[in-house]
Structure 1
Amino acid sequence: MGTNNVFPRSGERISKLGFGAMGLSGSFGSYDDEYLIRSVLLALDGGINFIDTARAYGRSEELVGKALKQWTGERPFVATKVAAQPAPAPASYPPGSGWHAPVPVEVAYPRGMLRTSVLESLQQLGLEQLDLIQLHQYWAHWDDSDYWMEELLRLQEEGLVRYIGISVPDHRHELAIALVRSGKIDAVQTLFNIFDPLALDCLIPICRQHQVAVIARIILDEGGLTGFLKADTHIAEGDFRANYFDVLPRSIYIDKINALQTFIPQYAESLAELAIRFALQPEGITTAITSMHVHEFIRPNLEAAARPELPQEVFELLRNKHRWIRNFYQARRYL
């Protein structure tokens, strides 16, 4: 299937598989700095040229910046996300508000904080310009207020950022459609995997039509689509995935994973390969990001990205028969 796509608004080549830098934050386990910096360098050396990080990812930007200082090849495309302010007390907003339930844009992004966040990102990354800045939170009713877009456009005019995008919260892909059609943004980041391919039913075709890049995330469903989860698998407290697989009885999730084993090894050598190739296949997805902070996973992921497309009938079978729409993000905020 080839290993590169084109960023629509610039025409530059972007690796189909991108480095998701949330894993550098300690969200999926603790690693020392040298190990994590080496993760970035190994991915870049393997041909990845797209890195996605965020102000909310702990020290991720700092570690990416240290890796970039050591990297001697062509500079990768670096995307980050603006840090949103936490919602006020639960008496005003339900748990998880901002990420899993809407808040006013003035709560998430008070006037002037977009600039502050961008300047902090530039400092941590050691860059003079960000290739892509994204709102880490975005809700459709924010379109009624234009000050936040004006602030982003001003940063773009000043040369601090090249392109502007948003990240769609949880599974509600359609939230971004009106903004995509407005022509004001250059990229959308959204969830896309075998269990939830709904963005392909609505958002992705519209992004293609309007020359807006699509960054697919959670392509391995936080690791669940690798088959690592067993009945007795312990996920340490503090790991982002604690409770993620258990908002329903874990056996239900494992049954859904086991049903995918019928495609192995005829169409892929592993479940992870199957999930990666599925996420990379649709036209309209510019890059699909996954955490590659663990060294041993980098090479297999790169090899999966370089393999041919799945037969179309297999892709459609996965897309339609194995979709399993459930909103873990909604459920886990109440645990």
Structure 2
Amino acid sequence: MKFSDFAGSGEQVSRIGFGAMGLGGALGAYSENELVRSVLHSLDRGVTFIDTARAYGDSERLVGKALKEWKGEKPFLASKVMSLGPGSVGWGTPIPVESAYPAGWLKESTEISLRELGVDTIDLMQLHQFWPQWSKKDYWMEELLRLKEEGKIRYVGVSLPDQRHDIALSLVQSGTIDAVQTVFNIFDPLPLDCLIPFCEENDVAFIARCVMDEGGLSGFLTEESTFEDGDYRKSYFDYVPRNMYIERINRLRKFIPQYADNLAELAIKFVLQHPGVTTALVSMHVPAYANQNIAALDKEPLPDHVFEEIFRYHRWVRNFYDTKFW
């Protein structure tokens, strides 16, 4: 396992993190026992960063159940306050902060998370949505800082709602937050332009999500792949004709096996190439996925010319909220 400094604090976290959305059933149905075992397996393999959310169904509860069984050192726990915006409102387009996080809700949601996780303190609490208009209101930040003072959380951050990475630049420079989480992968490398360097300069942790593009960058998708109702991926890969998605994936196979043993390894190597990336969240609710993802950390980094080629010629920025929510 490799580690990085979290937000200039000197505290070390694993450079690959357990993305716990899959524990809530969003990526297929698994038994509770299987899901708890997956958390324990990843911790045993050296993962020390777990990212969950109030909105991820049973995810917090299952993480908490795993932690009760875990005998090792407590991992770094990150969660997110659930937005109260009705339905899908607030993801594709902004809503008032008072609608998403009315006064008192951050405290209430955090206390629910603490109970579900079975802990006294959550290391990082994030807003699950953030829009730059909200910076004009300061009550939500005051609530987060009050939770820090009470010892219920240790760091504060935001998770950006979609691929518009630039909306967090002023917040990163403000000195008021400790972490930003957003989409970053081979198809969407735009955080490298501004957000990651800004985070590095301001001692703000950068947390990469959708590293595998919901699994697509692992190369598993075929024309015949189907997904059950309730699976987050059911419409995700059909934003464009599926053969177009598969063709984009196949273009990346030229780098296999010379520069990576498989496409998943290539995706992880690409995201972790920049030292400003604190941790990359990947789904590890299946132990075999965890083993493959963690193994990527022991491999040689991508040569500069390969990284540059992928960065320049394999980007394919798509905002799936166009079809999900607009």
State the TM bucket, normalised to the shorter chain.
Answer: over 0.9
| Local SS of the residue matching 1:222 | coil
Q: State the Cα deviation string for residues 142-165 of structure 1 (Å, max 9, x = none).
A: 001111011111111111110000
How far apart are residue 199 of structure 1 and its match? 0.5
Aligned residue for 2:3?
Answer: 4
Instruction: Structure 2: give runs of 5+ residues left out of the alignment.
Output: none
State TM-score, norm by structure 2. Answer: 0.98
| Local SS of the residue matching 1:245 | helix
Aligned residue for 1:296?
Answer: 288
| Local SS of the residue matching 1:214 | strand
AA partner of residue 64 (structure 1): V
AA partner of residue 103 (structure 1): I
The answer on 1:255 being equivalent to 2:247 is yes
Q: State the Cα deviation string for residues 168-189 of structure 1 (Å, max 9, x = none).
A: 1110101111111000000000
How far apart are residue 86 of structure 1 and its match? 2.7
Are the counterparts in 1 of residues 82 and 109 from structure 2 also a CA contact under 8 Å? Answer: yes
Q: State the Cα deviation string for residues 199-222 of structure 1 (Å, max 9, x = none).
A: 011100000000000000000000
Aligned residue for 1:206?
Answer: 198
| Local SS of the residue matching 1:156 | helix
The answer on 1:140 being equivalent to 2:132 is yes
| Local SS of the residue matching 1:80 | strand
Q: State the Cα deviation string for residues 242-278 of structure 1 (Å, max 9, x = none).
A: 1101011111111100100100111111101100111
| Local SS of the residue matching 1:215 | strand
Which of the numbers 305, 308, 313 marks the counterpart of 1:316? Answer: 308
Provide the alpha-carbon RMSD of the alignment.
1.0
| Local SS of the residue matching 1:41 | helix
AA partner of residue 264 (structure 1): I
How far apart are residue 333 of structure 1 and its match? 2.4
The answer on 1:47 being equivalent to 2:46 is yes
| Local SS of the residue matching 1:241 | coil
AA partner of residue 3 (structure 1): K
Q: Partners in 1 of 2:85 and 2:178 — Cα distance?
A: 26
How far apart are residue 231 of structure 1 and its match? 1.2
How far apart are residue 18 of structure 1 and its match? 0.3
How many residues align structurally?
326
Q: Partners in 2 of 1:113 and 1:9 — Cα distance?
A: 29
Q: Partners in 2 of 1:200 and 1:331 — Cα distance?
A: 26
AA partner of residue 221 (structure 1): D
Structure 1 segments, 4+ long, off by >6 Å, are none
Are the counterparts in 2 of residues 9 and 186 from structure 1 also a CA contact under 8 Å? Answer: no
Q: Partners in 1 of 2:98 and 2:155 — Cα distance?
A: 22
Which of the numbers 120, 132, 137 marks the counterpart of 1:128? Answer: 120
Are the counterparts in 1 of residues 36 and 62 from structure 2 also a CA contact under 8 Å? Answer: yes
Which of the numbers 157, 168, 172 marks the counterpart of 1:180? Answer: 172
Q: Partners in 2 of 1:111 and 1:332 — Cα distance?
A: 28
Q: Partners in 2 of 1:124 and 1:332 — Cα distance?
A: 29
Q: Partners in 2 of 1:19 and 1:97 — Cα distance?
A: 27
| Local SS of the residue matching 1:122 | helix
State TM-score, norm by structure 1. Answer: 0.95
